[in-house]
Structure 1
Amino acid sequence: MPEGPSLVILRDEAARFRRRTVRRVEGNSKLDIQRMQGRRVVSVRSWGKHFLLEFSSFSLRVHMLMFGTYRIDEPKPDKPPRLALHFDNGTLYFYSSSLKYVEGPLDETYDWRADVMSPDWDPALARRKLKRQPDTLACDALLDQEVFAGVGNIIKNEVLFRIRVHPETRVGDLPPRKLGQLIAQAREYSFDFLEWKKQYVLRKHWLVHRKRECPECGSRLELAHLGTRQRRTFWCDHCQVRY
């Protein structure tokens, strides 16, 4: 599943279509995609794992789910797109993605303070939300899009190793300093992710995600599907403390 930093890259690449008119629409989506025919894109935005094309009275929300992808100008051979938007200056393609319309202003639907990639990100708000769910496991808290919009499984695993917290630690058991580190690193690692992905070196920087050996102590890493979301989790039982 593409995480928040990947959506920022898509947003920046698709910025060329801002103020451009949709000339032709294709795709196998069941959504009324022809609604966008002849409409002018007002802005290109992202929130968490959502890519947003804003028109004058509604927006298109694209969520790429687990296996969604996109292309600009170069369609995938022999695979029909879920959506193709043709502009005078190029074409935007989406595959295996969820499409939905958001009616009215985006500011009425999205709280930009929850997006870890947004300049409006509010760590104090994240702390208040976490304080209201003390029984939530750290591995689930980081994947809560209402708290950390844009954080996905890679970021979750890497952040918990960075701050040396066991994924099954309850949020309410975290010392205040560790809770602050969790919140800060959710954003900091996301921006590191963004820069590494732009340079095509993201995987080289993974410390525990999809790894077998702890880079700190050399112990064999644990792997299990943890939390209510049952997402694949990598951690070191020796270095990461269960509070």
Structure 2
Amino acid sequence: MPEGDTVLRTAGRLHAALADRTLTRCDLRVPRFATADLTGRTVLGVVPRGKHLLMRVEGGLTLHSHLRMDGAWRVYDPGDRWRGGPAHQIRAVLGNAEHTAVGYRLPVLELLRTRDEEKAVGPLGPDPLGPDWDAATALRNLLAEPTRPLGEALLDQRNLAGIGNVYKAELCFLARVTPWLPVGELPAPVATRLVTTARQLLDANRDRPVRVTTAPAHRGHAPGERLWVYGRTGRPCLRCGTPVRVADQKGRPTYWCPRCQSGPTP
């Protein structure tokens, strides 16, 4: 599931393949920008912002995309077979003499003036993997609505950018509270530690092909033991052995250990 760490790696691959090279192919397969042609322009760089990707192109233009649940960018060399999905799922093709970047299932794809990027990403909170990271601001944002359930507050990109459903579940487990606990009921040291842990987890996974949140003593990197609770419905908690539970929270499957985590549940 694309979250801040995945988007950072994607930006790195796109930047390595396209930056400082002239586009020789451009095909944006969304109605609004289907006639836009960026060929002949140089890609200046690709940067992440939370879950957003900003590809800056010569001439003051930015191609803005968002992966959401299952979007992806793939980079291919000449002669490679495109394996990111069927052709009807392709939303963008950008290429130069050495590489081709193909965007699959992109729910957001728009061409902006670079000076207008803030219209797309301005409302976002601090990015744990970005140069704008500010733990104090993130904490203040997170606690701004004291009655809001913690899980919902963590997913609100206006609070801190880059946290998705996986990290939501894992952070709540590590804080030993349920995702339904009102954020105002978090003890101050726990709230502070939670924000710090969010950055630590994303940073630890920024270069990993497989996301890991558990401690070595609990996993040994074995498949199925890389995450504390996410996706482990009915399996024993890696800390106490109690079966992990799952319930819906605002349309998202939400996992928790009923013994290790205190607070309200559905």
Shared fold (TM-score, shorter chain, > 0.5): yes
Secondary structure at 1:197 match in 2:
coil
**1:1-243 equivalent positions in 2, closer than 5 A:** 1-16=1-16, 17-33=18-34, 34-55=36-57, 56-73=59-76, 74=80, 75-76=82-83, 78-80=86-88, 81-97=90-106, 98-105=108-115, 108-109=118-119, 110=121, 114-197=126-209, 204-211=225-232, 212-226=235-249, 229-242=250-263
- Structure 1 residue 182: Cα displacement: 1.6
Alpha-carbon contact 2:25-2:95 (below 8 Å) kept: yes
- Give the gaps of 5 or more residues in structure 1: none
- Structure 1 residue 113: Cα displacement: 6.2
- Structure 1 residue 41: Cα displacement: 1.2
Two-structure CA RMSD over aligned residues (Å): 2.3
- Structure 1 residue 197: Cα displacement: 2.5
- Structure 1 residue 121: Cα displacement: 0.4
Change beyond 3 A, Cα 1:167–1:68: same
**Offset from partner CA, 1:91-128 (integer Å, 9 cap, x none):** 10001102012323367444586111113200111122
- Structure 1 residue 39: Cα displacement: 1.9
- Structure 1 residue 214: Cα displacement: 0.9
- Structure 1 residue 142: Cα displacement: 1.0
- Further displaced range: 63-72 or 190-199: 190-199
Distance across 1 between alignment mates of 2:115 and 2:177: 39
- Give the gaps of 5 or more residues in structure 2: 213-220
Alpha-carbon contact 1:166-1:240 (below 8 Å) kept: yes
Aligned length: 241
Letter in 2 for 1:61: H
Distance across 2 between alignment mates of 1:118 and 1:39: 27
- Further displaced range: 113-122 or 143-152: 113-122
